[in-house]
Structure 1
Amino acid sequence: MKKIYLVRHCEAQGQSSDAELTENGLKQAASLVDFFSGINIDRIISSPFKRAVQSIIPLTKQLDVEIEFDNRLTERMLSSKNLPDWMDKLSATFKDFELKFEGGESSREAMNRIVDVVEDVFNGKDENTIIVTHGNLLSLLLNHYNKNFGFDEWQNLSNPDVFLLKSTDGEIAYERLWELL
């Protein structure tokens, strides 16, 4: 059985690609080391955004596993314009997966990016992989496997958050692990 641990980055100072973790976020990154202790990890793939990388660096040092960066794991761009009502617009994209705002990508386009990464991992040789990404993209991936995972579930994600995606005989299922702490 192949396992993918999906990690949403720790608490960050902002949304830009170079936003760093907060003091609390750095502590959360250290807690991920404890969380994954005793779990054999073969591979770590991360969004190149600074908050994602900083979230997983303490674990990579502990495990002596190098980070592979994958641009398909960057956060979804809702729009290139500043949207004062971005929360309403984001909610609408969970209802209409083809809806697209200026300079942004649709939910379907973003979902396809992360699904491609997951399929590559499931088709690869490694048994236990960590994928570090962002809340919106993670939500779209989980929606791919369970249509009931939507905007409200996205709002209930934590920083960090951890889900386990398992592939057994071609069947894919997931469970949230972080809330079990």
Structure 2
Amino acid sequence: MKKIYLIRHCEAEGQLSEAQLTDRGFKQAVELADFFSNSKIDRIISSPYERAFQSIQPLAERLHIEIENDSRLTERVLSTNNLSDWLEKLKITFNDFDLKFEGGESSQEALNRIVEVVEKVFTSETKNTIIVTHGNLMSLLLRYYNKNFGFEDWRNLSNPDVFLLINETNKVTIERLWK
């Protein structure tokens, strides 16, 4: 049995790759470390975005585990244009996985990135891995394993959020742990 704890980063000041956690976000990162205090963790993989790294840093320091950065875990770019109706456009991409806006990435392309990371972890020697990523990418992965996970579920994610993926005999189950 292999476990992946899928984490959405804590509250941040913005969407840019260098956006820092807010004061509240730094407190949430400590809460995350406390939340995992009794969990066996073998490996931590994070998006290289500052907010993701900062979200897991207190736990990594506590456990003396080096954080591995993986660019495949970065947030999905919907478009390089400033879309005034971005929320509506994002909603459409939950149904049309091939839809792509200028300079952006389709849901399928983004999904392929994170599935590649997850499948590699499931076939690795480690039993208990944490993956830290971003809301849209996390949602796409959760939908991959649960076809009922959709746009409204994405809207209901929190910062942070934690889901447990368990792979037992090549069947993956999902449980939301963060309330």
Normalised-by-shorter TM-score class: over 0.9
The aligned runs of 1:1-181 (5 Å cut-off) are 1-179=1-179
The separation in 1 between residues aligned to 2:33 and 2:54, in whole angstroms, is 12
Give the partner amino acid of 2:72.
Answer: R
d(CA) in 1 for partners of 2:104, 2:63: 36
TM-score, normalised by the number of residues in structure 1:
0.98
- The C-alpha deviation readout for 1:54-91, integer Å capped at 9, x for no partner, is 00000000000000000000000000110011000000
TM-score scaled by length of structure 2 = 0.99
Distance 1:89 1:79 in 2: 10
* In 1, Cα distance between equivalents of 2:153 and 2:103: 25
> What letter is aligned with 2:49?
F
For residues 38 and 96 of structure 1, the distance between their equivalents in structure 2, rounded to whole angstroms, comes to: 40
* Cα distance in 2 for residues equivalent to 1:29 and 1:143: 26
User: What amino acid does structure 2 have at the position aligned with 1:92?
Assistant: I
**Structure 1 position 2, deviation (Å):** 0.4
Could you list the structure 1 runs, at least 4 aligned residues long, displaced by more than 4 angstroms after superposition. Answer: none
Q: Gaps (5+ residues) in structure 2?
A: none
Q: Displacement of 1:39 after TM fit?
A: 0.5
Deviation at 1:147, TM superposition (A): 0.9
* Pairwise CA distance, 1:95: 1.1
Give the AA of the match of 2:65.
V
**How many percent identity over aligned positions?**
66
